[in-house]
Chains A and B, each alone.
Chain A
Amino acid sequence: MQIDLRTVSIKPLRQTFDHIARRIGPDKAATRYQEGTLDVQATHNFHYRPTWDPDHEIFDASRSAIRMADWYAFKDPRQFYYGAYTLARAKQQETAESNFDFVEGRGLADSLPDALKDTVLKLLLPLRHVAWGGNMNGAFITAYGYGTALTQPCLYHSMDQLGIAQYLTRVGLLLGDDPSVLDEAKKSWMEGEAWQGLRRYVEDSFVLKDPLELFVAQMVALDGLLYPLVYETIVDDVLASQGGTPIAMLTQFMTDWYSETRKWVDATVKTAAAESPENKALLEKWITHWRDRAASALMPVAQIALGAQTDALTSEVVSQFNARLAKAGVTL
C-alpha cells in the first residue's frame, strides 16, 4: 500500500537553466552538481586584464598547454558541489573524532612501543608541511585553472589537505610529550637530509605556472605515491603489524580520503588524455617526470619506517601507480 499524498501540481515552463539544458538536453531535470558546476565560470567579454598577469584574461584556458574543446568534459565522479562535499567530509570527521576519542580515552598512545612512537613522529609530522604544500597547490589551480568542473574540486582538495595537515598536527600533539615535537619535525623538514628531496619537490611545484602540470605534480604524482606508500603500506600494514593499529585509526581519514579522491584524479587524467594524442603525450611526459622525482624524493622518507624493505615496497607502490594510470589511458 502506498499513501497517496497530493500537492497542487503546476506544470513548469522549463526544467533548468538554458546553459544546462544545452548540455543535458531540454526537458530534463538537472542535478544540483550540474546546476552548481556547468558553465558557472565566466568565459566571454572580460573587462580588464589582470594587473598581475597582463598576458592572460582573468580566466584563460591558454594558461595550460593541455587543450580541451570543452573544459566541462571534466566530471567529478563524486558529484561534489559544496553541499555534497561538506556532508561527505562531516561524516568522515565524525569517524575521525571517534577514532581520536577511542585512542585517547583508552590511553592507547601511551601503550605504543617507544621505538614505534618515535618512528611515527619522525615520519608523519614533517608531512604536515607536505600537506600544506598541497593546500597551496590546490588553491593555485582553483584560482588560475579553467572551468568550474576542474577548479571546484581543486578547492575541495586544497581544504582537505589543510584538514590533513591539522589531523597530523593532532597526532603529534597526542603522541608527543609536548608541542615541541612539531618544532622538531619542522627542523627535520627544513634541514634533515631525508626530507630535502621532498621539500625541493614541493617548492619546485610552487613555481609551476601551468595549472594542469601542477595537477600532475601534486594530485597525480605526489599524492598518488605518498598516500599508498605512507598510509596504506607503512601505517596500515607495516606499523600495524608491529602493534601500531592505533596509528592506523588516527590516520583513517587520510586512507579513506585518498581512496575516494583518486577516483576524481583518475577521471580527470582520463578525460584530458582521451581528448587528443597531444594531450596524452604531454601528460605522459609530465607524469613520468614527476613520478620519478616523487618516487626518489619519497625513498629516504620511507626509509624511516621501512629500512631494508624500502626499495622493494616503494617499487611495488610505483608499479601499482603505473597500472592505475594505464587504466586512465596513460602509458608510462
Chain B
Amino acid sequence: MDMKVSKKKLGLKEKYQHMTRGLGWETTYQSMDEVFPYAKYEGIKIHDWDKWEDPFRLTMDSYWKYQAEKERKFYAIIDAHAQNNGHLSVTDARYINAVKLFLNGISPLEYMAHRGFAHAGRQFPGVGPRVACLMQSLDEIRHAQTQIHSLSNYNKYYNGFHEYRHMLERVWYLSVPRSFFDDAITAGPFEFMVAIGFSFEYVLTNLLFVPFVSGAAYNGDMGTMTFGFSAQSDEARHMTLGLEVIKFILEQDPDNLPIVQQWIDKWTWRGYRVLTLVGMMMDYMLPKRIMSWKEAWEVYFEENGGALFKDLARYGIRPPKWLDQIEKDKDHISHQAWAVFYNYAAACNFHTWIPTDDEMDWLSQKYPNSFDKYYRPRLEFWREEAKKGNRFYNKTLPMLCQTCQIPMLFTEPGDPTQICYREVDYKDNKYHFCSDGCKEIFEHEPEKYIQSWLPVHQIYQGNCFNEGVDPTAEGFDPLAAVLDYYHLNFGRDNLDFEGSEDQKNFDAWRGMATKNT
C-alpha cells in the first residue's frame, strides 16, 4: 500500500485567501458593469482588486463563535443591571440626559451604518473589501440592537427615550446627526467608505465613543458601559478597515488623490460639526467629567490624528482643511451649543440646566481663555433669572446652516462676540451657512444640499403639524402643534432639569433603594 503523502499545512493567510478570494469571478453572462453598477461613477480608478490587503482574517465560523461569546456576556450583564435597578447607581439623574442624547442621536446611526455597509458590501467588485464591509454591516446591526436593548431599561423609568425613532425624523437637533449619515449613504460606495469607514470610524471615533463610554464608566452607568466595552473589539476591526480603504484607493491610481482629499476635508468637517453635541455633553452633561472637550480634541485629534496624517503624507494626503478654525473654536463650541440647548429646552427631548458653582469652576479651569470672559456671566444671569421665576425659554426659531443643519450658533473664528454667517446664491435662492467649511461643502454639491430637510424651514412651511391641524384657527399655538408632531410630552420630556419628573422620580426611587422609610 502506498503511503499517503501528508498534506502541506496551509498558512493562515493562504488559508484565508482560499476561504474568500477564490470565491468571486469575472461574470460573463452579465457584464461586470451591470453586476456592479456603482463602481465607477465617482471617478475612483481601481486596477487590481486583488491588491487589497485583508485588514483582518476572520472566517464566519470564528466570527460566530467569538461574537456569540460576547453576546452571552453582554446580555447577562444588562439583565443583572436591569434586575438590580442599576439606573439608580448613576452619579445623579442629570447624567441620564447624556444617555438620552446617545439613544436619540447615535443609535439610529448605527442602524444606518448597517444598511450603508450592506450597500458598499454589495457594490464593490472586489471580494476582500466586500467581505470586510458585510462583516461590518453585521457588527453595526449588533451595535444598534445592543444599544436599544441596553437603553430600553432607562426608557422604562425616564422620559425622553420613548419616541427616539419618531423624533429622529422630526426633532430639530436630530437632523444634525441624521443628515450626516443620510449624506454618507447617498454618496457612492467609495465616498461612503471614506466618510464612515475612514473619517468617522478611524479619525473621529475616539471623540465619539470614548466620551460616551468613559462617561458611562465615570458616572456609574453599567448598562451603557457594557455595550461600549462589548463593541470595542468590533470597533478595532472597523478602524483597520477604514485605514486599509484609504491606502488601497490611493495606491491604485494617482488620479484618486484629489477626490479622496476632498472627501477627507468634507467628512472631517461634517464629523467635527456633529461632534459639537459630544463636546457639549462632555463639558456640561456628565456630573463626573472625564476630560474637557478641548482636551479630548487635543489628545485624540491633534496628537493621534496628527500622527496619522503624517503617515498618510507619503500618499500625497495633507491634513484636512479648516483645522486652523477648529483650533480657535475649541475654547468655545461646547459652551455655545449648551447655551442654545438651554434656550430651546422647551422643544427638546432632554433636560438642560445651569451648571453648579463647582462645575463652573471646573469649566473656568479647563477653559481659562474663554469661560469666565464669555460664558460664565451669561449662565449666572440665566440662573438669577430662573431664581426669580423667569427661566428663559426661547420661542422663536433659529436659522439653520444648510449643510450641517446646526442653528447659527458658532462665532467668527477669532471673534467670540460675532456670530459667523456665510451665504450663497444658487438658482434664485439664498442659502445660509455657519462656516466656510459648510459653505464650501455646499458649493461642491449644491444639488445635493438644496434638498436638505431643514426642521425650521419645514415648520415655517407648515409641514410639521399633525394631519387635520388648522394653523389658521383662532388661538393656534404653533409651538404646541409642533411638539405634538414630535410626540414630545410637554412638561415631562422637555424643560429644565430642575423640577422635572426625572429628577423627582430618581430622588424618590434612590430613597427607596437606599433607605428604610
Partner of A18, one of B28, B166, B509: B166
- In the bound assembly, the distance between CA atoms of A30 and B154 in angstroms comes to 14
Interface readout for A171-190 with B: 1 if CB under 8 Å, 0 if not?
Answer: 00100011100110010011
How many residues of chain A are within 8 Å of chain B by beta carbon?
Answer: 84
Partner of A35, one of B27, B108, B152, B449: B152
Residues of B within 8 A of A14 (CB): 155-156, 162
Partner of B30, one of A12, A132, A169, A204: A204
Residues of A within 8 A of B67 (CB): 86, 90
Give, as a whole number of angstroms, the nearest-CB distance from B133 to chain A: 8
B259 in contact (CB, < 8 A): no
A166 contacts B19, C-beta separation under 8 Å: yes
Residues of A within 8 A of B175 (CB): 47
B60 contacts A17, C-beta separation under 8 Å: no
Secondary structure dominating the interface of B? helix
Residues of B within 8 A of A96 (CB): 61
B10 contacts A173, C-beta separation under 8 Å: yes
A16 in contact (CB, < 8 A): yes
A44 in contact (CB, < 8 A): yes
Contact status of A132 and B23, CB under 8 A, knowing A44-B169, A90-B65? yes
B168 in contact (CB, < 8 A): yes
- In the bound assembly, the distance between CA atoms of A203 and B188 in angstroms comes to 23
- In the bound assembly, the distance between CA atoms of A281 and B374 in angstroms comes to 69
A173 contacts B18, C-beta separation under 8 Å: yes
Chain B, residue nearest A93 (CB)? B61
Partner of B23, one of A8, A40, A48, A165: A165
- In the bound assembly, the distance between CA atoms of A330 and B100 in angstroms comes to 46
- In the bound assembly, the distance between CA atoms of A16 and B151 in angstroms comes to 10
B137 contacts A155, C-beta separation under 8 Å: yes
A108 in contact (CB, < 8 A): no
- In the bound assembly, the distance between CA atoms of A78 and B432 in angstroms comes to 50
Partner of A204, one of B29, B68, B112, B164: B29
B131 in contact (CB, < 8 A): yes
With A42-B178, A48-B452, A83-B145 given, name 11 new contacts (CB 8 A): A16-B152, A17-B155, A35-B148, A42-B165, A48-B449, A48-B451, A52-B38, A139-B121, A155-B114, A159-B138, A165-B23
| Partner-A contacts on B (CB < 8 A) | 4, 7-8, 10, 14-15, 18-20, 22-25, 27-30, 34-35, 37-38, 41, 59-61, 63-65, 67-69, 71-72, 74-75, 83-85, 108, 111-112, 114-115, 118-119, 121-122, 127, 130-131, 134-135, 137-138, 141-142, 144-146, 148-149, 152, 155-159, 161-166, 168-170, 175, 178-179, 182-183, 185-189, 448-449, 451-453, 458, 487, 505, 509, 512-513
Give 21 A-B contacts (CB < 8 Å), ordered by A residue. Answer: A7-B84, A12-B156, A14-B156, A17-B162, A40-B148, A45-B458, A51-B186, A52-B37, A86-B68, A128-B22, A139-B137, A155-B134, A166-B60, A169-B18, A179-B10, A179-B14, A183-B22, A189-B25, A190-B28, A207-B30, A207-B35
